[in-house]
Amino acid sequence: MKDLFDNVSNDCSKLVTKKYSTSFSMAVNMLSPKIRADIYNIYGFVRFADEIVDTFHDFDKEQLMSHFENDYYFATKNKISLNPILHSFQQTVNKYNIPDEMVQAFLKSMKADLHKTDYKTKEEYDEYIFGSADVVGLMCLKVFVNGDDKQYLELKDAAMRLGSAFQKVNFLRDLKDDFELLNRSYFPNIDLGKLDAASKQLIIDEIEADFEYAYTNGILKLPVEAKFGVYMAYRYYRRLLKKLKTVPSEKIMDTRIRISNPMKINLLARSYVKYKLNII
């Protein structure tokens, strides 16, 4: 009956992914069935940690985060948790030997959001992105290469750059909520209250460079089980960035960019054609 509990826990992480991000869920569904559950499990864990620091304003966030972290370590040590999200995640961590340094780096960035509101230096900014995004890409890469250390090392930098690009697009898209609701400013040396065209272009150029490196040095070389799903996520975020480019800098704080469901289907269809024609 333990298998039933394992399956229920995996289903919970899948449900979390589908409810919180239809776009990411669509991309995961394009992965091989053999690895989908593990990517859902990673998403469930990082999503719940993110929810603690971003939305649970009526509760003691530090206490919740402390319990979440302690319960996670109990789960990994004992290989079980009655929290289905932590149970499913520990299965993936133990199955693919995901290093604890990755989990710690992620939790460090999440805990920073409990009190840090301003990133004044590039070093602080890079450290936050590494923990909040790069290591999530590395966790997924551990699943994608299934223990092939040589392939992991070859694709490691590209996975980090893709995670960085996704996070920076999120920062740019969510400027209003981060700045006005959460009082956070991630981009160093940029006055978000007076974001000008030159500053916005610097951010976009940085994201474009990350995307280009990740595509050429990572996505094209991914195992077949992962390539199409990761490519779909890449295409989605490239489209978000394309829409963000068209918004004047002085209007970006007042605009919430989204990709419509018909556009998502269009992206999926066009990406699938490229994939089947071996263009990617």
The pLDDT, as a whole number, for residue 250 is: 77
| pLDDT tens-place string over residues 68-81 | 999 999 999 999 99
Tokens of 27: 């991309």
Q: What is the pTM of this model?
A: 0.93
| pLDDT tens-place string over residues 209-228 | 999 999 999 999 999 999 99
| pLDDT tens-place string over residues 176-205 | 788 777 888 898 877 776 778 888 899 999
Compute the chain's Rg from CA coordinates: 19
All domains of the chain in start order, with CATH: 2-276 (1.10.600.10)
Q: Which long-range contacts (CB under 8 A, 24 or more apart) does 76-85 make?
A: 84/8, 84/9, 84/12, 84/13, 85/9, 85/12, 85/13, 85/16, 85/44, 85/45, 85/48
Low-confidence ranges of the chain (pLDDT < 70): 193, 272, 275-277, 279
Tokens of 71: 């319960």
Burial class (CB in 10 A: 0-12, 13-18, 19+), 262: exposed
DSSP state letter for 191:
-
| pLDDT tens-place string over residues 109-120 | 999 999 998 898
Q: Cα separation of 171 and 204, whole Å? A: 11
Q: Cα separation of 186 and 116, whole Å? A: 10
Neighbours of 255 (CB within 10 A): 15
